[in-house]
Chains A and B, each alone.
Chain A
Amino acid sequence: MSVPSAWYLVLAAILFGMGATGLLVRRNVLVMFMCIELMLNAVNLTFVTFARLLNDIGGQVDVLFVLVVAAAEVVVGLAIIVALFRRRAAATADDIHILKG
């Protein structure tokens, strides 16, 4: 009656691929952050699909936790970025390469 779960999985995979590529290509730190969010959403989608497929609520609960972790991660990430950017006039992620080998 509903859409076969394979479609969702394909969709999630594509979303994940795009998120990963975006992370690597874009140089603006915040956009990289957003790409990470994309990847996380792809994972959530997969969780929900499998929850439905295996008729197990656990999947959805995991999504909940993923959400929480994602939120915490964004908060701390942005705090770091704010602290970092305030200290150094950096426009993109590449300007911060003090830890060069």
Chain B
Amino acid sequence: MLASLQSVLLADTSAQALAHASAWAVFLVGAAMILTGAAGVILLRNPVHCALMLVVTLFGVALEFIDQSADFLAAVQIIVYAGAVVILFLFVIMFLGVDRKEAIAAEPTKLQKPLALLMGLVVLVEILALSRVDHWVGGTPALSGALNGPGDNVQKVGQAVYTGYLLPFEMTAALLVIAVVATVVLSKRAGGAGNDEAGAVVAEESSEVTS
């Protein structure tokens, strides 16, 4: 990897080279952000810090998107992911008060940690090994729209979504509605005459939690 890095820097400083170099720069910054963010999410004990490190990762990924000319996605990524999802995380963390520091070292079931690490590595190696295989599937490639043609990325994505992928798009709409309904039902406070017994349990527990 160092060899290619030197070749890049030494080659020339023409505009095309400049673009090339900037692409590398963006990639490297993004990669750094992703890796540090991911490490942070895994290793930090306080869940709030993890959430923040998650945001860093998301920004890294957004950068990578931009580097690969997927501008619309980068924007969506930041708005939806970084904006909504992580905030939701933080909200739930504070709401449930589970922000006690977690003792990473403690592990009730033995064999869990070492095996997990081993499994992570093995999966990584396998994916890399597999990536060198090229004859995955035969058949003609189904092209749903050229990426590099005229017009900017959003217009092409929009066109693809509303023509080729219309049905999945509608299904995702339905999915979101279901999710919302599910959330309302699940988190409805178990009040009401029907299950006062459940209500009592919750009341008594929450007092214990907050104490």
Contacts and interface: CB of A to CB of B under 8 A. Distances in A.
* Touching chains A and B, CB distance < 8 Å: yes
A98 interface: no
A20 B164 CA distance: 33
Contacts of A17: 120-121, 123-124, 127
B58 A64 contact: no
A75 B41 CA distance: 19
A28 B88 contact: no
- Name the prevailing secondary structure of the B interface residues: helix
A94 to B, nearest CB: 5
Contacts of B64: 8, 11, 45, 48
B42 A14 contact: no
Contact of A15 (B38, B89, B176): B38
A96 interface: no
Given A48-B64, A64-B76, A68-B176, A16 B123 contact: yes
Interface string A48-85: 11011011111111011101111111111011111101
Interface residues of A, number: 74
- Name the prevailing secondary structure of the A interface residues: helix
A49 B206 CA distance: 47
Interface residues on B, range: 35 or more
Contacts of B80: 67, 71
Contacts of A30: 47, 50-51, 89, 92-93, 98
B73 A64 contact: yes
Contacts of B84: 71
Contacts of A82: 92, 95-96, 186-187
B182 to A, nearest CB: 5
A58 B88 CA distance: 29
B152 to A, nearest CB: 12
10 contacts: A25-B117, A30-B93, A38-B57, A41-B61, A57-B144, A60-B73, A65-B168, A74-B89, A76-B183, A87-B205
Interface of A: 1-3, 6-11, 13-22, 24-31, 33-35, 37-38, 41, 44-45, 48-49, 51-52, 54-61, 63-65, 67-76, 78-83, 85-89, 91-92, 94
